[in-house]
Amino acid sequence: MKKNLKSWKTTIVGIIIAVAGVSHQLAALVDDDPTTVFDLKILLVALGLGGIGVLAKDGDKSTEDVK
């Protein structure tokens, strides 16, 4: 399945959000500071927001433009 990347702005933002959230939680998981807490909910929210950004279309595109 080939993804049509005409909605590149929301796709880029979605990827940035996912990478930032996942990397923050992975850093919390592997650091040696006992006060840092890994939170699975934040990780899932970051992945969900990233998915929404990747699947959403840009506001300045019509449905016909994206097809």
- Tens of pLDDT along 31-59? 888 888 888 998 999 999 988 888 887 77
Q: Which residues contact 20 (CB under 8 A, 6 or more apart)?
A: 46
Q: Is the pTM of this model over 0.75?
A: no
Decide if 64 is inside a domain: no
Decide if 46 is inside a domain: yes
Decide if 17 is inside a domain: yes
Decide if 40 is inside a domain: yes
Counting the structural domains of the chain, the total is: 1
Decide if 20 is inside a domain: yes
Residue 33 corresponds to which amino acid? D
Supply the pLDDT for residue 10.
85
User: What pLDDT band is residue 1 in, cutting at 50, 70 and 90?
Assistant: very low
Decide if 65 is inside a domain: no
Supply the pLDDT for residue 44.
93
Decide if 27 is inside a domain: yes
Q: Which residue has the tokens 């005409």?
A: 6
Tell me the three-class secondary structure of the chain, residue by residue. Answer: CCCCCCCHHHHHHHHHHHHHHHHHHHHHHHCCCCCCCCCHHHHHHHHHHHHHHHHCCCCCCCHHHHC
Task: Report pLDDT digits (tens) over 22-33.
Answer: 999 999 889 888
Decide if 37 is inside a domain: yes
Q: Which residue has the tokens 């890994």?
A: 38
Range of the domain at 48: 8-56
